[in-house]
Structure 1
């Protein structure tokens, strides 16, 4: 049977003694080593930060509004029509460019 090893990295931090004692006490109360406690706590906070930055949360009212907009989009106004025309022109200009290479 083949043993799988995972790459591990080291994290170190110097903290004031009173901070260390607080961390040590919390780790002891949770039944973990200081290192385990730090990693678990830091990972939990890191996941919360990533979720907060990457996930958009909507209220039920806003979700209903968004679905309605997707299912029944408003008619394009003059600015949107002008933007679409500029986009189509830019696409045509790119197609005529000498920098296009065959696929």
Structure 2
């Protein structure tokens, strides 16, 4: 049994000069007008989506990131305290190894 994907319909009203230009471009690429429009719209949509999800850094941002990678900061007071609390719980048997049985 074959499964078909549900399709939607998109319509647009354009002037005859725009329709003629789009038809000519479609013919020059060897596509139907519908194929041409869908492909052009999809390419534009992907470009916009990619642009919006792209992370942009200035030279200053990039230099800061490189400096942080090359010269990492030590743990702050909160992280040190959290590690001490964890170590104490492990030492007191409060935290068990995940491989131990809980029964």
Quickly name the TM-score band, shorter chain normalised.
0.5 to 0.7
**RMSD of aligned residue pairs (Cα, Å):** 2.9
TM-score (norm 1): 0.60
Question: Which residue is 2:28 aligned to?
Answer: 29
Question: Which residue is 1:17 aligned to?
Answer: 16
Query: 1:69 deviation in Å?
Result: 2.1
Query: 1:65 deviation in Å?
Result: 3.6
Gaps of 5+ in 2: 79-103
TM-score (norm 2): 0.60
Gaps of 5+ in 1: 76-83, 85-103
**CA distance in structure 1 between the aligned counterparts of 2:7 and 2:44, rounded to whole angstroms:** 20
**CA distance in structure 1 between the aligned counterparts of 2:27 and 2:63, rounded to whole angstroms:** 48
* Per-residue Cα deviation, 1:42-101 (whole angstroms, up to 9, x for no partner): 0000000000011114478854541432553568xxxxxxxx9xxxxxxxxxxxxxxxxx
Aligned length: 76
Q: How does 1:20-59 map to 2 (within 5 A)?
A: 20-58=19-57
**CA distance in structure 2 between the aligned counterparts of 1:59 and 1:28, rounded to whole angstroms:** 43
List 4+ stretches of structure 1 deviating above 6 A: none
